[in-house]
């Protein structure tokens, strides 16, 4: 438990990260038994999410370790010119998008570990009326 007064502890954190969401988890063989992330955009995306997480904390410590959290993510993806389907039912997979964001938020010290997430939702939408990126909302879980 932190020694900070209760008013300095984060109860909820909500922010938007603009950019092109990139998945984490698909690997490809590069020879010699080595594997690398398939998405070339992943390092830049994780950096953007990490920096946005640090900025959202505004110098405050992140959520206490071992506190159960609810994390809701809404990804806004680019819609191709010829795409008419209402929702992005193609790659990238939502769980791989989620993994990249969760690892970046751990690096930003928003929480101790993404294992603290016990509930939440992840959505993929087209960025028809906004820029591409992800809306992140994190709060303490209630029983």
Whether the per-residue pLDDT at 24 is higher than 70: the answer is yes
Strands (E), the chain: 12-18, 27-31, 34-37, 69-77, 117-126, 133-140
Is there a domain that residue 61 lies in?
Answer: yes
Position 2 in a domain: no
Q: Count how many domains the chain has.
A: 1
- Determine, yes or no, domain membership for 37: yes
Q: Residue 60 maps to which CATH number?
A: 3.30.1330.70
Report the distance separating Cα 76 and Cα 123, nearest Å: 9
Band (pLDDT 50/70/90 cuts) for residue 93 is very high
Which structural domain range is residue 25 located in? Answer: 8-140
Residue 130 belongs to a domain: yes
Q: Is residue 108 part of a domain?
A: yes
- In a domain, residue 3? The reply is no
- Summarised one tens digit per residue, pLDDT across range 67-85 is 999 999 999 999 999 999 9
Residue 1, domain member (yes or no): no
In a domain, 50, yes or no: yes
107: Cβ–Cβ under 8 A, 6 or more apart, which residues? 46, 50, 53
């Amino acid at each position: 438990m932190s020694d900070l007064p209760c008013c300095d502890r984060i109860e909820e954190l909500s922010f938007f990260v603009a950019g092109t969401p990139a998945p984490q988890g698909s690997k490809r063989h590069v020879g010699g038994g080595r594997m690398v992330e398939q998405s070339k955009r992943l390092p830049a995306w994780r950096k953007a999410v990490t920096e946005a997480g640090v900025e959202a904390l505004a110098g405050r410590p992140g959520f206490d370790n071992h506190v159960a959290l609810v994390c809701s993510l809404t990804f806004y993806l680019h819609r191709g010119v010829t795409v008419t389907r209402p929702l992005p039912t193609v790659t990238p997979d939502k769980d791989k998008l989620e993994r990249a964001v969760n690892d970046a938020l751990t690096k930003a010290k928003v929480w101790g570990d993404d294992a603290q997430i016990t509930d939440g939702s992840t959505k993929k939408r087209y960025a028809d009326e906004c820029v591409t990126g992800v809306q992140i909302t994190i709060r303490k879980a209630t029983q």
